[in-house]
Amino acid sequence: MVATHVGRAGRAAGCGHPDDEAGIDAATSLNALDGNAMATFGSVTLEVADPAAAKAFYEAFGLGPYVDVRASDAAADGFRGFALSLVVSQPGDVDAFMNAALDAGATTLKPAAKSFWGYGGVVQAPDGTICKIATSKKKDTGPVAREIDRVALLLGVADVKASKRFYVDRGLAVAKSFGGKYVEFDTASAVTLALYPRRALAKDIGVPLEGTGSHRIVISGDAGPFTDPDGFAWETASA
């Protein structure tokens, strides 16, 4: 059995490259933009039909320390406009997380495979949340371990530049920016926030673009409460 634990934060980008389904090069970086008061995440809460079952799934998968769950019967159909990205150190770790997710009841959207950018795959949790597991490495360099280097919440948005301005105005500092293709914020927390064109994100994770109803996710932090231009809701983090 492979052990699961939270690993080294911040070693890779955690998001697919806008022009390639395999993922952004984890070594690529831009200088962080200067900011004033930096907003942070308090938590990412998934709204699910069965909180007990969802909590058990995420604990078994290895995302338990990163997400909360709460009950909701809000209607949602198709692509919900977001995905969770797990960045790990090597292909064997990707396979370990993929297998853990499938054993806990997930379904495969994209089998793990090599690509120009590295190695990765995509699964869908029983509650409908989509999770991408990826590494920039193409070969194992050590023992397999279910260790997460980084988790990113990828929001699929209509206009990356407009959403970037919206979040900067609310105190989030930009860590990486690729024009209208991808923006990553320095959230000073266990989960990174990233923006991606909705169409490109859907393609990257292997689902149709269409979706209606609730996003079934709530973000909390000291930047909230508000609802962003694409309908993603923030709440004020509990003290």
Task: Quote the pTM value.
Answer: 0.85
Task: Please give the Cα distance from 11 to 233 (Å, whole number).
Answer: 28
Secondary structure (3-state) at 11: coil
Structural domains of the chain ordered from first start: 7-39+50-65+77-212 (3.10.180.10)
Q: What is the amino acid identity at position 137? A: K
d(CA 218, CA 54): 15
The residues with which 69 forms a beta bridge, in sequence order, are 46
d(CA 95, CA 46): 24
Contact between 127 and 168 under an 8 Å Cβ cutoff? The reply is no
Residue 237: its pLDDT value, please?
82
Instruction: State the pLDDT at residue 73.
Output: 93
pLDDT digits (tens, 9 = 90+) for 76-120: 999 999 999 999 999 999 999 999 999 999 999 999 999 999 999
pLDDT band, very low/low/confident/very high, at 37 (cuts 50, 70, 90): low
Q: For residue range 135-183, what is the model confidence (pLDDT) as tens digits? A: 999 999 999 999 999 999 999 999 999 999 999 999 999 999 999 999 9
Nearest by Cα to 69 from 7, 61, 77: 61
Task: Give every strand in the sheet of 191-197, ordered side by side.
Answer: 107-115, 118-124, 130-135, 82-87, 150-157, 191-197, 183-186, 173-177
CA distance 10 to 204: 21
Q: What is the mean pLDDT of the chain?
A: 86
Structure tokens at 228: 């962003």
Residue 108's pLDDT is what? 98
Taking the C-alpha atoms of residue 131 and residue 180, their distance in angstroms, rounded to an integer, is 23
Report the candidate in 137, 187, 204, 184 with the shortest Cα–Cα distance to residue 29. Answer: 184
Q: What are phi and psi of 233, to 5 degrees?
A: -95, 135
Confidence of residue 38 (pLDDT cuts 50, 70, 90): low
pLDDT at 239: 58
**What SS3 class is residue 109?**
strand
Structure-token match 């198709």, residue found: 78
